Amino acid sequence: MSLETVLLTGAGGFIGAQIPEQLLKSDEFHVIAPVRSEKDTQSILALHPEYSDKNGRFPIVADYGTNGAFDEIFRETEIKHVIHAAGRFRFENIDPEKIIYDNYDTVKSVIQSAEKLGRCLMRLVLTGSVIVEITGQMKPSTFKEELTEADIVSIPLEAVRESGDPIACYVATKAESSALLFETASKPSVSRDAVELLPAGTAGPLAHSVPDLTAGPHSLDRAYNLLSGTWKEIPGTHVPDYRCAGRSFSAHLGSAQRKGEWPTDQYRQLGLALFAPGVGKI
């Protein structure tokens, strides 16, 4: 049986590190997981030596956000699925420009390469954030049980870039990335699925190499502080919903394995994730 090839970004991160194992275990996929340096490759293989014997490859793409960064991979390989799980945010000591680079520029680069060269591409899966849905739902008086595309916030990226507010930059980058994904999806020149996962705060075991726990995801910090008794008072949260990371990994795997078209008139839930419908034509 010929294996379908998945391009996975973010394999060295909290969410992305779990996905290669799940995909390779299924024996349905060949995984190409670009990393930024040879050191990153060695870190991944040190934790997961079994990847060496599986259908995985870790090419070096030093700058994810550069236009054309993924062109060579698409030219060399018949990519059937893309899972973009790269992107990181911490609330402390964050450079707004880095937030924009990590969470928008890299998305734009992947989408552009896929649109230009993804001749065999069947599905592009983007890891977004539920924050683009709940930003306008923080007050009980405005909360709705059912959300649609109309509830996704619209914050001009250039405006927040000038403000320098890291949280505003994060929300704007996620919203802009979502808009770009589905604007591309509406083009008649190509016909493949687009899926966006909108996870909430996610906590769970680390499957990637980090120097210490402060290099883990922000939501894991909050879960640790809550469970360890570090907090004497529980602060307000930007994301009022924390889930097990395993459900997010399962959602990514399911998004690659699901066959056929997604509904265009409603959001689809799998595990913790909301799937922006997106399909139509991308």
pLDDT tens sequence across 80-91: 999 998 877 665
What is the extent of the structural domain holding 221? 4-276
pLDDT of residue 274: 33
| pLDDT for residue 56 is more than 70 | yes
pLDDT of the residue at 90: 63
281 assigned to some structural domain:
no
- 206 compared with 230, residue with greater pLDDT: 230
Percentage of the residues of the chain whose pLDDT score is greater than 90: 19
pLDDT of residue 262: 42
CB atoms within 10 A of CB 90: 16
Q: Quick check: 249 pLDDT over 50? A: no
Enter the pTM of the model. 0.76
CA distances from 189 to 77, 103, 276 (A): 21, 26, 21
Report the pLDDT value the prediction gives residue 267, as an integer from 0 to 100.
31
Tell me: pLDDT of 206 over 70. no
Q: Would residue 110 count as lying in a domain? A: yes
Is 282 inside a domain boundary?
Answer: no
Instruction: Name the nearest CA neighbour of 4 among 115, 120, 117.
Output: 120
State the pLDDT at residue 105. Answer: 95
The better pLDDT of the pair 164, 236 is held by 164
Pick from 167, 166, 171: which is nearest to 156 by CA?
A: 171
Q: Which two tokens stand for residue 141?
A: 């008086």
What distance in Å separates the CA atoms of residue 178 and residue 199, rounded to the nearest whole number?
Answer: 13
Position 140 pLDDT exceeds 60? no
Q: What does the pLDDT look like over 162-187, one tens digit per residue?
A: 888 887 888 888 888 988 988 887 88
Distance of alpha carbon 246 from the chain centroid:
14
Q: What is the mean pLDDT of residues 210-233?
A: 68
Q: Is residue 64 part of a domain?
A: yes
Choice among 57-61, 162-166, 205-209, 258-262 with the minimum mean pLDDT: 258-262
> What is the H or E stretch that residue 246 is in?
helix 245-257
CB 177 within 8 A of CB 128: yes
Cα distance between residue 263 and residue 60, in whole Å: 36
In a domain, 176, yes or no: yes
Domain count along the chain: 1
pLDDT at 98 over 70: yes
Among positive and negative, which fits the CA dihedral 66, 212, 215, 30? positive
The DSSP 8-state label assigned to residue 156 in this structure reads -
Instruction: Report the pLDDT averaged over residues 57-74.
Output: 94
What CATH number corresponds to the domain at position 222? 3.40.50.720
Q: Phi/psi class of residue 170: alpha, beta or left (left: φ > 0; alpha: ψ in -120 to 50)? A: alpha
Q: Determine, yes or no, domain membership for 226.
A: yes
